[in-house]
Amino acid sequence: MTRYRVLFVCMGNICRSPTAHGVFQHQVDARGWGHWLLVDSAGTHNYHPDSPPDERSQAHARRRGYDLTALRARQVQDADFETFDLILAMDHDNLAELQARCPSRHQSKLRRLTEFCQTHTADVVPDPYYGGSGGFERVLDLVEDACAGLVLHVQEQSKGTRP
């Protein structure tokens, strides 16, 4: 079976990318797409290997019905550029890091998550790590919006290939 694979990437893989992972996985599961669509997240840096998402990310996500408890931080691996169909960075710095590491034949897979926003006009998903609860809520607002647009994109990209 052909699978479509989406990877969300931030710096440490404990705030933004696991939030996007959890939100998108929730949308994938709600549509019954889990058998053909694989969702994962990673960080450009290996700051928190095997750590769960930041407690604040988990708490804010939980309030909106998303469970991030099973997710664990990992660093982007060279094989990810081959494996994933779409690799979505949370900001320009992490996109640049990915572009520097990615083989030229896979550069087209790299994009920013906010490119899929339907109602928000943010250029990036800002890092909430050093801020207050408002930052984590802003991340969720942007991620939910972008993931809604991403669902439409994946649906269009996978026509004729998904079961």
Among all residues, which ones are annotated catalytic?
A: 10, 16, 127
H helices present in the chain, as ranges: 16-30, 55-63, 78-83, 92-101, 133-157
Whole-number Å distance between alpha carbons of 88 and 98: 10
In whole angstroms, give the CA distance from residue 112 to residue 93. Answer: 10
DSSP code of residue 34:
T
